[in-house]
Amino acid sequence: MSTTPEQKLLLAQKRFGNLIRAIPVGVVMVNPDGIIEAVNPAIVKMFGYSERELAGLDFRMLLQTVPWADEAELLAWHNSNPEKAIELRGVKKSGGSLPVDVSVSQLDNESRRQLLLIMMQDVSERVKIEKMKQEFFDMVSHDMRTPLCSISLLVDMLQENASDLPDDTREEIKKIGNNSKHVTRLINDLLDIEKVEAGEIKLIYGLFSLSEMIMNAIDVVQAQATKRKVNLVAASSELIVCADQDRVLRVLINLISNAIKFSPKGGKIEISFVDQPDETIVSVKDEGRGIPSNMQELVFERFKQVEAADATSKGGSGLGLAICKGFIEAHGGRIGVESAVGQGSKFWFSIPHRDISEFAAEQSGANAEE
């Protein structure tokens, strides 16, 4: 006997019901007043109530604080964030709490009553891992940076009074100094990249002369350039930009220092900028080995280097460009490279123009708060 279309539909509905009951995500069906009509077993497991206890109750009792005043707000939130989940605190029957990702969708049914499906996912594991990560970074920043700082100070003191020591001892002290500086820089870079990825970069905007900033960056890398006999040529103009000076300086230092690392002896590096209607573009052009096209996007990812030996032979960890990208994108700018193997590279970044009157208003607001 063959099954009718109605029977097929019933079977499919039954299977779908079984699926909702089996999935490990909590599902609560509520009516337009927020009253629970049905829950799946995952909700029972997460909150410790039985299905019967929950039926007829307001779903808000499962959450510590609800960011929506009523169902209309809940629906408006859902409509503007259709794919999005929000992390809230769930309250168990025992009184304990758990972190849950909550998302909402609308369910059309025959009686035309607008039912809502509220999905809740227990994210305790994710929150635990985030906490461990945070603790690790706190530990790195405090417990490792502090002793390294003392080692560096001690080495500086030893170097100042090292004139009586034998040459090889002085050389060893110098090596300790360089290594501790290298590890300190790596730790600082890791902490920065962590901030970039967590979206926690807070920019401190200010007005400054781009030419002066380029001269500052050159001061920092001049010794490295002289050592490699590389010639630095910089453009100069009266241009004033509005950006986070420290962050843009670090971007420039990394780009110029990369250009020096990969330049041939006697090579030239040009640092220039052009002011366009919406943004200022700064570029650093070298005559080095260039970057293959398949790596031109990848080098902006952390720990990505064109050649495995770049970490050892050129002394770098592959974090510099990832940090540059984070700093520039935090400004709303773009960063990229034009290059061809054997023909040098031109790294560039943009600083979007800011409305100076808006910036002045922000400044006076900040001053008033102080």
Which residue ranges make up the site for Mg ion (CB under 5 A)?
254, 258, 316, 320
Across-strand partners of 350?
281
Tell the residue number behind the tokens 């309250």, with chain if given: 91
Examine residue 184 and tell whether it contacts ligand ATP (CB under 6 A): no
Strands 279-285 and 268-275: antiparallel
Q: For ligand ATP, how many residues bind (rule: CB under 6 A)?
A: 22
String marking each residue 271-300 x if it binds ligand ATP according to CB under 6 A: ---------------x-xx-x-------x-
Among 180, 280, 283, 345, binds ligand ATP (CB under 6 A): 345
Among 119, 252, 259, 328, binds ligand ATP (CB under 6 A): 259
In the complex, the smallest distance separating the C-beta of residue 288 from ligand ATP, rounded to whole angstroms, is 4
In the complex, the smallest distance separating the C-beta of residue 67 from ligand ATP, rounded to whole angstroms, is 40
Residue 289 binding result from Mg ion, ligand ATP, none, given CB thresholds of 5 to 8 Å by partner type: ligand ATP
In the complex, the smallest distance separating the C-beta of residue 9 from ligand ATP, rounded to whole angstroms, is 58
Examine residue 258 and tell whether it contacts ligand ATP (CB under 6 A): yes
The count of other CB atoms within 10 Å of the CB of residue 193 is 18
Residue 40 binding result from ligand ATP, Mg ion, none, given CB thresholds of 5 to 8 Å by partner type: none
Residue 286 binding result from Mg ion, ligand ATP, none, given CB thresholds of 5 to 8 Å by partner type: ligand ATP
Instruction: Indicate the residue among 122 and 286 with the shorter CB distance to ligand ATP.
Output: 286
Tell the residue number behind the tokens 């002290």, with chain if given: 173
